[in-house]
């Protein structure tokens, strides 16, 4: 997608947070019939972090990640104009972003949630980009955070082995066009396939006697793993190629491939489809599992901290998941 920008966008800081509690594959094999060998071979996941304890929610992780990002650049939270929280696991169906705004004391910021499951961070980054590049806002905090552990059927071995909890945050600011780091994007949705990965609401009570209103609750994550696998491996490379082509760029110009951390086999298969060396994949799914909207900013923060990414590196970021929704963002890293 061509960007119509009167301003550029620069990345000022990243931060992340994961719960302390670790669940290994061995521990999981005591809950469901599975094995470390099966999980590692099929997914590359060795362990994941889970938010344990009562009254802890996505807010705790998102707040910690945001405060870490702010402290890295000694920025006052009062400088933030907008907070976008990508999450599918809010602690309030009306949204959780406003509670984060209050917790980090970003009193001048507008705050809202954006729900797009594992593509949430990509969609939030693009949304933030529109506000910054049009000149509407100067400084935006984008957070990807999820606690899918609260919505997993822990007796279903086909899903409970995959997911973990976490949060990642990034602070973006408008800048001159010549310093712009957000090169382009490409987004897609196919609602016909929504049933392949969903967390459905189900009417499970008798209707109200007079009003005939049915009420219910949300169920557990339901997934057709094979279909999601095929979808990711076929559609994500196409999105990346479309995005690069629109920018008159080629795969050879990619320094790092930062994909939603769903499954290491999916990441490798996508790189292979692009004829890209697997050395260029940024990966941490082995330690955290699939953290949904958090996975991309979590890897970005780690790679930034470890000094893995260098000045001027081109990073191709792709998210994919429930909706089904998928998309790509291309950025140029500046130190």
Q: Which region, judged by CB under 6 A, interacts with ligand UT7, from 19-27, 81-89, 128-136, 157-165?
A: 157-165
| Inter-residue contact 220 to 153 (CB < 8 Å) | yes
| 161 in contact with ligand UT7 (CB under 6 A) | yes
Least CB distance to ligand UT7 at residue 128 (A) = 22
Question: Which of 225, 255, 273, 313 touches ligand UT7 by CB under 6 A?
Answer: 225
Question: Which of 133, 173, 290, 291 touches ligand UT7 by CB under 6 A?
Answer: 290
**Dihedral-angle region of residue 152 (phi above 0 means left; psi in -120 to 50 means alpha; beta otherwise):** beta
C-alpha distance across the termini of the chain, in Å? 26
In angstroms, the CA 131 to CA 25 distance is 42
In angstroms, the CA 82 to CA 98 distance is 10
**Dihedral-angle region of residue 214 (phi above 0 means left; psi in -120 to 50 means alpha; beta otherwise):** beta
In angstroms, the CA 52 to CA 60 distance is 12
Q: Would you state the structure tokens that stand for residue 87, as one six-digit string?
A: 């999450």
| Inter-residue contact 228 to 197 (CB < 8 Å) | yes
| Inter-residue contact 294 to 122 (CB < 8 Å) | no
Q: Which region, judged by CB under 6 A, interacts with ligand UT7, from 37-45, 144-152, 173-181, 209-217?
A: 37-45
Active site residue 260: yes
Which CB atom, from 10 or from 260, has the smaller least distance to ligand UT7?
A: 260
Q: Tell me which DSSP letter residue 281 carries.
A: B
Question: Which of 158, 193, 198, 246 touches ligand UT7 by CB under 6 A?
Answer: 158
CB atoms within 10 A of CB 194: 14
| Inter-residue contact 165 to 50 (CB < 8 Å) | yes
Beta-sheet strand order (sheet of 8-17):
8-17, 165-175, 139-147, 82-86, 110-114
CB atoms within 10 A of CB 31: 13
| 43 in contact with ligand UT7 (CB under 6 A) | yes
| 298 in contact with ligand UT7 (CB under 6 A) | no
Q: From the candidates 25, 118, 196, 304, which is the catalytic residue? A: 118
Dmax (CA) of the chain: 65
Q: Which region, judged by CB under 6 A, interacts with ligand UT7, from 106-114, 135-143, 153-161, 245-253?
A: 153-161
Q: From the candidates 180, 196, 263, 290, which is the catalytic residue? A: 290
| 303 in contact with ligand UT7 (CB under 6 A) | no
| 44 in contact with ligand UT7 (CB under 6 A) | no
Which CB atom, from 208 or from 226, has the smaller least distance to ligand UT7?
A: 226
Per-residue binder mask for ligand UT7 (CB under 6 A), 114-133, x = binder: ----x---------------
Question: Which of 38, 112, 194, 220 touches ligand UT7 by CB under 6 A?
Answer: 38
Distances (CA, A) of 3 to 73, 115, 126, 194: 28, 23, 10, 29
Which CB atom, from 23 or from 183, has the smaller least distance to ligand UT7?
A: 23
Least CB distance to ligand UT7 at residue 261 (A) = 9
Q: Which region, judged by CB under 6 A, interacts with ligand UT7, from 14-22, 140-148, 221-229, 234-242?
A: 221-229
Residues carrying an active site annotation: 118, 260, 290
Residues of this chain that interact with ligand UT7 (CB under 6 A) are: 34, 38, 42-43, 118, 157-158, 161, 197, 223, 225-226, 228-229, 262-263, 290, 321
């Amino acid at each position: 997608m061509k960007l119509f920008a009167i301003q550029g966008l620069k990345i000022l800081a990243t931060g992340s947070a994961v719960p302390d509690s670790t669940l290994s594959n061995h521990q999981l094999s005591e809950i469901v019939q599975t094995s470390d060998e099966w999980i590692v071979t099929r997914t590359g996941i060795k362990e994941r972090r889970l938010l344990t304890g009562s009254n802890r929610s996505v807010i705790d992780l998102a707040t910690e990640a945001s405060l870490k990002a702010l402290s890295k650049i000694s920025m006052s939270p009062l400088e933030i104009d907008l907070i976008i929280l990508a999450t599918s696991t809010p602690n309030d169906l009306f949204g959780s972003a406003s509670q984060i705004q209050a917790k980090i004391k970003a009193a001048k910021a507008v705050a809202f949630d954006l729900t797009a499951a594992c593509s949430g961070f990509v969609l939030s980054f693009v949304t933030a980009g529109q506000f910054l590049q049009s000149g509407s806002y100067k400084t935006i905090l984008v957070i990807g955070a999820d606690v899918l552990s609260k919505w997993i059927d822990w007796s279903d071995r086909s899903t409970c082995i995959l997911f973990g909890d976490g949060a990642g945050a990034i602070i973006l600011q408008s800048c001159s066009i010549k310093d712009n780091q957000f090169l382009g994007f490409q987004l897609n949705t196919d609602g016909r396939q929504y049933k392949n990965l969903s967390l459905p609401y189900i009417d499970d009570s008798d209707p109200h006697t007079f009003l005939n209103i049915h009420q219910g609750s949300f169920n557990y994550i339901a997934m057709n793993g094979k279909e999601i696998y095929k979808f990711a491996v076929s559609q994500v490379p196409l999105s990346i190629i479309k995005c690069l082509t629109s920018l008159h760029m080629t795969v050879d110009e990619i320094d790092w491939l930062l994909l939603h951390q769903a499954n290491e086999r999916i990441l490798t298969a996508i790189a292979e489809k692009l004829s890209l060396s697997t050395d260029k994949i940024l990966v941490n799914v082995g330690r955290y599992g699939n953290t949904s909207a958090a996975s991309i900013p979590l890897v970005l923060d780690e790679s930034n901290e470890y000094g893995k990414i260098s000045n001027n590196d081109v990073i191709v970021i792709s998210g994919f998941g429930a909706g089904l929704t998928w998309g790509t963002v291309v950025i140029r890293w500046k130190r």
